[in-house]
Amino acid sequence: MSRRPSLLQAIARGVRGRCPACGDGPLFWRYLKVTPRCEACGHELGRHPADDGPAYLTILIVGHLVVAPLLFFPIIWQASPAIVLPATLIPLAAVTLALLPRVKGGFIGVLYVLGVKDTDAHLHTADPASRC
| 3-class DSSP assignment, residue 84 | helix
What is the dihedral sign for C-alpha 120, 123, 126, 128? positive
Nearer to Zn ion, 17 or 91 (CB): 17
Instruction: Give the footprint of Zn ion on this chain (CB under 5 A).
Output: 19, 21-22, 25, 38, 40-41, 43
Integer Cα distance of 78 and 59 in angstroms: 26
Taking the complex as a whole, how short is the minimal distance between the CB of residue 21 and Zn ion, in angstroms?
4
Nearer to Zn ion, 32 or 41 (CB): 41
Taking the complex as a whole, how short is the minimal distance between the CB of residue 60 and Zn ion, in angstroms?
28
Taking the complex as a whole, how short is the minimal distance between the CB of residue 42 and Zn ion, in angstroms?
7
Nearer to Zn ion, 41 or 70 (CB): 41
What is the DSSP code (8-state) at residue 65?
I
Fill in the amino acid letter for 51. D
